[in-house]
Amino acid sequence: MSPQAFDSVKLSAQYHLLNRQSSNSNLSSQDQLPLSFSKPSVPVPEQPASPMGLITRFIKYGGWRRNWLLCVVAVGFLLFGFRHRRSFQEFGHRSNLNQEIFSSTNCQPPSGHPAKRFALMIDAGSTGSRIHVYRFSYCLPPNSISSTILPTLDHELFFKTQPGLSSFAGRPSEAAKSLQPLLQAALEGVPADERSCTPISVKATAGLRLLGDKDSKEILMQIERWLRESWPFKLPEKDGVTIMDGADEGVYSWVTINYLLKTIGPSADKTMKNATAAVMDLGGASTQIVFEPQQTKLEPGGHVYKLTFGGRTHALYQHSHLGYGLMEARRAVHQLVAYAELWRKKTSWQSLSTQGPMGNPCLLPGSTRTVTLVNEDRQGPDSKQVVNFFGTGEGFEACQRVVGLMMGKDAICKVSPCAFGGIYQPHFEKAFTQGPIYALSYIYDRLYPLGIKTKFTLNNLLKLVKVICKGTKSNWKLHGLSTEAIEELEGRPESCLDLTFIYSLLSLGYEIDESREILISKKITSIELGWSLGAAIDLLEKTPASDCRKLRS
């Protein structure tokens, strides 16, 4: 493709990102995160729509006749320039980090504080629910003159079940009862004399919102009522059962990782030789980034979180990009490819299902995928069209052009610099010059089976993605992919799309240097990474030990 054509499409993407109403608005100044979080009460610039909003608004407001020339350019750009997850079964997992501590006569808790406490955190995800039973110790260091201390995690019990709460639309009582195996596990993990002062919280992720406001509220209210009436644990009076905000999820994940790395809290290096870790978490519906800038002053806004933890204050940059999770990215890319075909043939939305197989540069060569596309501007059965895609084998470059257009890198940036979609983010390599980078969730899930076990650079990832997007089984073998990796790829026709999006998110979106090391992991010191531990520590902080003494008396 010529540079002129490429620039034309960049301008068209920028034009259609102007004046977007935000479906992922910044948090208001009244929203407060716990663990001594604070945010300035200043206006926050509007955020752009999600990728799907971008696409549908392009059609709705652009005008078919007015924009046909623009569509032709976009079509040329798109078309010519361009597993195995273990089934969600019930099982228990225990991690014993410090079993000797309570038998030790050297444990001196702060005055008036118990030597140990428990906390229960239920993660109600879209495909299933899980409970984390944490046991913390409160032992002052020898000869300590301090009277305060942060909890030390020494034991975790982990148990999960299916299906998720979103499977119980219109059946709130059944939704609550679906959590019963988790509560039974909690009874086994928490001694009887500790249960009345052991705090519990249920936090649902964004998947529950898909049920709509009425159904989701009924489920949450029934769970709260059931927990208070039927179980001995201590449920907070406020926000004990809630749908978690994306910002909470990101910051809690940051707390979890840095707590386990001992880069925050009393045991952290006060000279900052050990910089805190940056966290990038890719979910199904959204992706979060959280880091502590070291060389750059943050612009004021809802992206700033001031966290006081263990006597130190951390000014964090955080943002949750709603609509840019892996599943939403897939949907947006397929929708873009389909719309491009409509523009090229000058046919209508209703004709999509009757057009026959459609080429898709982001599917593996020779693979097929049947996708139900949804036009959010239409109502009734006409809003959905079933499309059969096949992989064209055009390779990474062709797929990345579609992904890049979907990400909106050229959106108007009201507060500079921006990451993507017009969202302010300090330049990562200038602001975060040292410290580890952890990539979680779907990034781990997609890369680990392909032989990336602990760390990678974007240079190395790019080489792998190019081989996968262009290759076949014989070509993958030629490039040294293992039998396990090939089996993983053959079971995922969208592997090229997934890996291209992950690479583009980290390089084009967050602008991480191609040679910088990125870590992937499921656990640190046998504890699962994610937001649950950070949320549990916060839950303990909001449930003072004095409450336990009152309850016991």
Q: Is 74 one of the annotated binding-site residues?
A: no
Return d(Cα 513, Cα 377) in angstroms, integer.
39
Residue with tokens 């808790």: 109
pLDDT higher than threshold 90 for residue 435: yes
Return d(Cα 409, Cα 402) in angstroms, integer.
12
Specify the pLDDT at position 166. Answer: 86
Query: Domain for residue 496, yes or no?
Result: no
Query: Domain for residue 226, yes or no?
Result: no
Backbone angles phi, psi at 311, to 5 degrees: 90, 0
Instruction: Read off the pLDDT of residues 1-33 as tens digits, 9 standing for 90 and up.
Output: 333 333 333 333 333 333 323 333 333 333 333
Confidence of residue 224 (pLDDT cuts 50, 70, 90): very high
Instruction: Read off the pLDDT of residues 292-306 as tens digits, 9 standing for 90 and up.
Output: 998 788 999 989 988
| Residue 9 and residue 74 in contact, taking contact as beta carbons nearer than 8 Å | yes
Query: Domain for residue 225, yes or no?
Result: no
- Who's near 355: CB < 8 A, 6+ residues apart? 341, 345, 347, 387
Q: Is 546 one of the annotated binding-site residues?
A: no
pLDDT higher than threshold 50 for residue 72: no
- Who's near 81: CB < 8 A, 6+ residues apart? 1, 5, 6, 9, 398, 401
Specify the pLDDT at position 266. Answer: 65
As a 3-state breakdown, the chain gives helix, strand, coil percent values, each rounded to 5, of 40, 20, 40
Helix (H) or strand (E) holding 405: helix 396-407
Query: Domain for residue 372, yes or no?
Result: yes
Q: pLDDT over 90 for what percent of the chain?
A: 53
- Who's near 105: CB < 8 A, 6+ residues apart? none
pLDDT higher than threshold 80 for residue 206: no
Confidence of residue 81 (pLDDT cuts 50, 70, 90): very low
User: Comparing C-alpha atoms, which of 254, 228, 253 is closest to residue 240?
Assistant: 228
| Residue 511 and residue 499 in contact, taking contact as beta carbons nearer than 8 Å | no
156, 249, 328, 528: the active-site residue: 249
| pTM for this prediction | 0.79
pLDDT higher than threshold 70 for residue 143: no
pLDDT higher than threshold 80 for residue 58: no
| Residue 421 and residue 48 in contact, taking contact as beta carbons nearer than 8 Å | yes
Q: Is 287 one of the annotated binding-site residues?
A: yes
Report the DSSP beta bridge partners of residue 173.
none
* Average per-residue pLDDT for the chain: 80
Query: Domain for residue 344, yes or no?
Result: yes
Handedness of CA 256, 260, 264, 266 (dihedral sign): positive
363, two tokens: 């599917």
How many helical (H) and strand (E) elements, i.e. helices and strands, does the chain have? 17, 19
Return d(Cα 20, Cα 17) in angstroms, integer.
6
- Over range 459-468, report the average pLDDT: 97
Q: Is 21 one of the annotated binding-site residues?
A: no
Q: pLDDT over 70 for what percent of the chain?
A: 76
Handedness of CA 411, 414, 416, 419 (dihedral sign): negative
Number of domains in the chain: 1
Query: Domain for residue 221, yes or no?
Result: no
β-pairing, 200-204 with 116-124? parallel
| Residue 401 and residue 84 in contact, taking contact as beta carbons nearer than 8 Å | no
β-pairing, 286-291 with 278-282? antiparallel
The answer to whether residue 249 is catalytic is yes
pLDDT top residue among 244 and 269: 244
Query: Domain for residue 374, yes or no?
Result: yes
Q: Residue 375 belongs to what domain range?
A: 3-26+62-82+326-401
Return d(Cα 77, Cα 395) in angstroms, integer.
14
Q: Is 89 one of the annotated binding-site residues?
A: no
Residue with tokens 């959905």: 384
Instruction: Read off the pLDDT of residues 247-282 as tens digits, 9 standing for 90 and up.
Output: 888 999 999 999 999 898 766 665 556 789 999 999
Query: Domain for residue 397, yes or no?
Result: yes
β-pairing, 304-309 with 312-322? antiparallel
Alpha carbon of 208 to those of 91, 250, 260, 376, 430: distances in Å? 23, 18, 29, 19, 38
Q: Is 525 exposed, middle or buried (0-12, 13-18, 19+ CB in 10 A)?
A: exposed
Instruction: Read off the pLDDT of residues 523-541 as tens digits, 9 standing for 90 and up.
Output: 998 888 989 999 999 998 8
